[in-house]
Amino acid sequence: MRKSVFFTGVTGLIGQFIAAELLRAGYELIFFTRSKDGFTARERVAKALRFVDPYLAGNYSVVDGDLGTVADMQVSADVIFHAAGETSFSEDKRSVIMKTNYHGTKNILQFARKNDISELHYIGTAYAHDFFSSNMVKEDTWWDENKEFVNPYAESKCKAENMVRKWGQEKMKNRSFVYSPSIVSGRSSDGLITSFTGYYRFMQSFARLRDVTSKIGYNSSLDIPISVPGVLGATINIVTLDYAINLIKRLFDAGVPGCYHITNPNPPEFDYLLQEGLKVIGITGPSVRRNPSDTKKVWKLAERLVKRGIADYKPFVSYNTIFSQKNVGDVLGKSSVSHPEVSSTLIKTLMGFALAHNFDKARVYEMRELELQSKERSDLLKKIQQEA
């Protein structure tokens, strides 16, 4: 008999795709989400699932609520899959970030205790840890909550992960699973993604700069010789959406409790990602190789605007961090951690999708819906012709 799964975060990037995989596999899902922006909780769930697969069939129900009240709820379920989270790095949003990621997870654990649920799957992040002081980040390391964090997001996820792992040790029967993705990019086949954070947010600053220059007459490839914050040789651990979902689903099915890095064993260097992305945008010149003092006065404003736009991401382009995937390899086999090469072709696919949708989640959903409606009309016409 398939387990019933109490699922948070279905409207998020990883959540909607994992939820679809679990429904396809025959799990009964209880989606926990809130009404928002004029849409009911059920409508938001339906929209998220339809985006992934308009023909998706499965057994699910929807509970309207938020993480602030979940601790007091009485629900019958075998498993919790906690994918809900706030992904902003902004210090200005600290209270919201901590409320959602830290206190929300604390409430989920209280909910698990109240309802005697002993299996919890949690979506963390590889970058919650002290990756600035070590070349190798191990999956089973316990993290210092009193250190100085680079942003409130990292702090909230670090503390939340520690709570989940401690809950897993409270009782012999408790089983905790922590999946820690690095920087998730689009699907390798077509670049599809709904959350333009991480690498996208970084590159969006250059796309906006290109938009501005286009409006004042620069319509061909533009050379902007400015300095970009970062360190030569630093790597960015970027993974494609399909790779991340595949690993998480297989680890879920394997059922071995533990902490797992959903990361790229061969991450590309930051400068390579930057230059290949700039080619797609249509800009040359920005480089980590340039000295800020060499930037000509005419480009100083552009340099300041770019630095301001990517300030939150500077720590992530300044170190060469390796994330161990020993636990993943032990459970699934070493061949399972082979990530597709982050080539110029892949970067062109990822950035092409982002540019086509203007780095806008709402536009992605709008264009996807138009695409689905067109396909449904075509499928209906074919069916009518076949029955005629």
CATH number where 171 lies: 3.40.50.720
> Do 372 and 252 fall into the same domain?
no
- Domain assignment present for residue 353? The answer is no
CA distance 77 to 87: 27
CB 20 within 8 A of CB 192: no
- Domain assignment present for residue 355? The answer is no
CB 18 within 8 A of CB 83: yes
Number of domains in the chain: 2
- Domain assignment present for residue 221? The answer is no
Does position 374 have pLDDT exceeding 80, yes or no?
yes
pLDDT value for 141:
80
Locate tokens 């209880």: which residue? Answer: 30
Does position 325 have pLDDT exceeding 70, yes or no?
yes
Does position 256 have pLDDT exceeding 90, yes or no?
yes
> Do 25 and 141 fall into the same domain?
yes
CA distance 68 to 306: 37
> Do 74 and 126 fall into the same domain?
yes
Which sign, positive or negative, has the C-alpha torsion 314, 317, 318, 320? positive
CA distance 229 to 287: 8
pLDDT value for 331:
96
Give the confidence band of 218 by pLDDT, cuts at 50, 70, 90.
low
Locate tokens 């080539």: which residue? Answer: 343
> Do 54 and 108 fall into the same domain?
yes
Give the confidence band of 27 by pLDDT, cuts at 50, 70, 90.
very high
Q: Give mean pLDDT, residues 371-377.
A: 88
Q: What is the DSSP string of 72-84?
A: G-----SEEEE--
Which sign, positive or negative, has the C-alpha torsion 264, 270, 275, 281? positive
CA distance 31 to 369: 22
> Do 179 and 141 fall into the same domain?
yes
pLDDT value for 140:
87
Q: For residues 277, 278, 280 and 281, what is the CA-based torsion angle, rounded to 10 degrees?
A: 120
Greater pLDDT, 302 or 196: 196
pLDDT value for 115:
97
* pLDDT digits 0-9 by tens, 42-97: 999 999 999 999 989 889 999 999 999 999 999 999 999 999 999 988 899 999 99
Single-letter residue type at 195? S
Q: What is the mean pLDDT of the chain?
A: 90
> Do 374 and 326 fall into the same domain?
no
Greater pLDDT, 313 or 264: 264
Return all residues near 202 (Cβ < 8 A) that are at least 6 apart: 310, 313, 317
Does position 387 have pLDDT exceeding 90, yes or no?
no
Please give the DSSP secondary-structure letter assigned to residue 228.
Answer: -
- Counting residues of the chain whose pLDDT is more than 70, the rounded percentage is 96
- Domain assignment present for residue 225? The answer is no
Closest CA to 333 of 224, 241, 251: 251
* pLDDT digits 0-9 by tens, 334-345: 887 889 999 999
How many beta carbons lie within 10 A of that of residue 135, not counting itself? 9
Q: Give mean pLDDT, residues 203-225.
A: 76
- Domain assignment present for residue 209? The answer is no
> Do 257 and 370 fall into the same domain?
no
- Domain assignment present for residue 44? The answer is yes
Give the confidence band of 17 by pLDDT, cuts at 50, 70, 90.
very high
* pLDDT digits 0-9 by tens, 267-288: 999 999 999 999 999 989 899 8
> Do 334 and 375 fall into the same domain?
no
> Do 248 and 385 fall into the same domain?
no
* pLDDT digits 0-9 by tens, 283-308: 898 998 888 888 888 888 888 888 88
CB 165 within 8 A of CB 120: no
- Counting residues of the chain whose pLDDT is more than 90, the rounded percentage is 65
The tally of CA atoms less than 13 A away on the side-chain side of residue 168 is 19
> Do 64 and 27 fall into the same domain?
yes
pLDDT value for 216:
61
> Do 243 and 381 fall into the same domain?
no
∠ at Cα 82 (323, 351), nearest 5°? 55
Does position 376 have pLDDT exceeding 60, yes or no?
yes
Closest CA to 249 of 177, 174, 163: 177
Return all residues near 244 (Cβ < 8 A) that are at least 6 apart: 14, 181, 184, 262
pLDDT value for 240:
97
> Do 115 and 259 fall into the same domain?
yes
pLDDT value for 90:
87
13-24 vs 41-52: helix crossing angle, rounded to 10: 80
CA distance 140 to 146: 18
CA distance 243 to 248: 9
pLDDT value for 105:
98
- Domain assignment present for residue 293? The answer is no
Domain limits at 370? 362-388
- Domain assignment present for residue 197? The answer is no
